[in-house]
Structure 1
Amino acid sequence: MKNLTKVALALSAGAALAVAAPLAAMAHVTIDPGQSDAGSYALITVKVPNESDTEKTNRVQLNLPTDTPFTSVRFVPVPGWDAELVRSELPEPVMIGESEITEAVTSIVWTAQAGSEIGDGALLLLPISLGPVPDVGSVVLTADQTYTDGSVVSWNGTEEGAEKPAPILYVNDAPVDHHGDTATDDDAHGDSDDHASEDEHSDEAAASSGDPVARGLGIAGLVAGLGALVAAFAFRRPATK
């Protein structure tokens, strides 16, 4: 019986890990939505999770491209956070339409007011507008996240599987679905004919897609159920005669 009890406890621990792993993979600075059309003005939200167990996030800097600059950059005020648009001279002049651009907003900096820093388990949402979106395959928006101890985490990885991936705005095309954070309009809303079967089996699609949360919860449910079954046998006493 002791062996069965150990198995049940191990399975329960496995269920917890199955949920924790995909949630940890989501703890990146990202943008939502991650796709926009060329020439449009994209209204996106920068999502900043606090990853430290002991320190708080008190500053966020989103770096904008200088080779394909945005001529219109705006932020939505966030209570408790001061925002600043930083304009800089471009390394080289850039032609946008018939205009030559020599300077542009190259970063947006948010600084927390006293008492508004975000701590463990908190998520900071920073809405912004960028445009016109350049007609390129993707726009990399690196980010620097500063903690109250002075440490800085730079989200600037662009290679596949980067530990600190940079937020990327995909232009015209759908973003690569590494973490299940973004999807195309067809994936989000579905066409009445082509995606009817997908709508009917949405639960199965979520479990089999790249969504780590759905997959993790599904695995956790199976493991937890098996653990409960083993535990039931472990603690059941034989009937007296």
Structure 2
Amino acid sequence: MHNFITRGTGTVALAAGLVLVAGGSAAAHVTVDAPGAAKGGYTVATFKVPTESDTAATTALRVAVPNLKSVRTEPLPGWTSTVERNDKGETVAVAWTANPGNPGVGPGQFQRFVLSLGPLPDQDTVIFPTEQTYSDGKVVAWDQPSTDGAEPERPAPSATLTANSGGHGGDHQVASSETSESGHDTVARWLGGLGLALGLFGAALGLGLVFRARQAS
């Protein structure tokens, strides 16, 4: 009975270990998050880039985009970004390079690279072939498309697009987001001020009652 329990426990532990290893491997891929991305619209795409090497750091990244009219980079301290365009003025790729003195993204670390881009093409999925360069000179290409739902060894970051219902431009979208956040901040400040005022009123009331009680005694 004891041997049966031991073997069962060992099997469960082995299975759990395999799941964790598989999950860690998948999580190590370069991925993109583009919430609200719609056909013909604009979005803010965040590329999450982990360093898989145990001995070298990520020192450069190049992301190909599908010939877009508007692409803006978010300032990233310690990195220089370069926007590559074709003869029509369309953006075809964006590259980031670690500045001198910046060691890059070390082993066991990851970095986010953010782009505002659009208008997005009229297709269900956008693929962003990516090249990740390490400090030892190794270049890893994340450019393989998924086939029949199976994930390749080096999958290209991809974003699924929805049908466009708003048709708002990127600047309008960003401004709306900032206005919304500003509104939330204003409400939060008012509520905080109201809470402070009520707290002070309660404290003053309490002190008054104590003072009156002492006078009465």
- Interval of TM-score (by shorter of Structure 1 and Structure 2): 0.5 to 0.7
The reply on whether 1:135 has 2:122 as its aligned counterpart is yes
Q: Deviations over 1:187-208 (max 9, x none)?
A: xxxxxxxxxxxxxxxxxxxxxx
Instruction: Report what 2:49 is aligned to.
Output: 48
Tell me if structure 2 keeps the 8 A contact 1:34–1:168. Answer: no
Give, in angstroms, the shift of residue 27 of structure 1: 1.3
Q: Which residue of 2 aligns with 1:82?
A: 80
Equivalent in the alignment of 1:170: 160
- Relative to structure 1, is the Cα distance of residues 10 and 88 closer, same or farther in structure 2, using a 3 angstrom cutoff? same
Aligned to 1:154: 141
Find the aligned partners of 1:5 and 1:122 in 2 and give their Cα distance: 39
Residue number in structure 1 paired with 2:62: 61
Tell me the CA shift for residue 128 of structure 1.
0.6
Q: Contact 1:35–1:169 at 8 Å: present in 2 too?
A: no
Q: Which has the larger radius of gyration?
A: 2
- CA 1:138 to 1:13, structure 2 compared with 1: closer, same or farther past 3 Å? closer
Alignment of 1:145 onto 2:132: yes
Shift of 1:61: 0.2
Give the root-mean-square deviation of aligned CA atoms: 2.3
- For these two proteins, the number of residue pairs brought into alignment is 158
Shift of 1:135: 1.6
Q: In structure 2, what is the Cα distance between the partners aligned to 1:108 and 1:166? A: 15
Deviation at 1:139, TM superposition (A): 1.9
* Structure 2 partner of 1:213: none
**CA distance in 2 between partners of 1:2 and 1:137 (Å):** 55
Normalising by the residue count of structure 1, what TM-score does the alignment of the two structures yield? Answer: 0.59
TM-score where L is the length of structure 2: 0.65
Taking a change above 3 Å as real, the CA distance of residues 11 and 35 of structure 1, as seen in their structure-2 partners, is same
- Between the aligned partners of 1:140 and 1:46, the Cα distance in structure 2 is 12
Q: Which whole-Å deviations, capped at 9, do the CAs of 1:94-144 have from their partners, x for residues lacking one?
A: xxxxxxxx2322111111122341122211101111111122222221000
Sort the Cα spacing of 1:77 and 1:17 in 2 relative to 1 into closer, same or farther, 3 A: same
Deviation at 1:84, TM superposition (A): 1.0
Structure 1 residue 17 displacement after superposition: 3.0
Runs of 4+ in 1 over 6 A off after TM superposition: none
Q: Separation in 1 of the partners of 2:152 and 2:14?
A: 28
After superposition, the C-alpha distances for 1:36-89 in whole angstroms (9 at most, x for unaligned) are: 112221111011111111111100000112xxx210000101111111111222
More helix by share: 2
How far apart, in 2, do the equivalents of 1:83 and 1:125 lie? Answer: 13
Structure 2 unmatched runs, 5+:
164-217
The separation in 1 between residues aligned to 2:134 and 2:6, in whole angstroms, is 41
How far the C-alpha of 1:24 sits from its partner, in A, is 1.1
Cα pair 2:31 2:48 within 8 Å, conserved: yes
What SS does the corresponding residue of 1:24 show, helix, strand or coil? helix
Change beyond 3 A, Cα 1:2–1:52: farther
Distance 2:134 2:58 in 1: 4
Q: Select the residue among 69, 72, 76 that pairs with 1:71.
A: 69
Which residue, 110, 117, 126 being the options, matches 2:96? 110
Q: Name the SS of the counterpart of 1:78 in structure 2.
A: coil
What is the identity percentage for the equivalent residue pairs of Structure 1 and Structure 2? 35
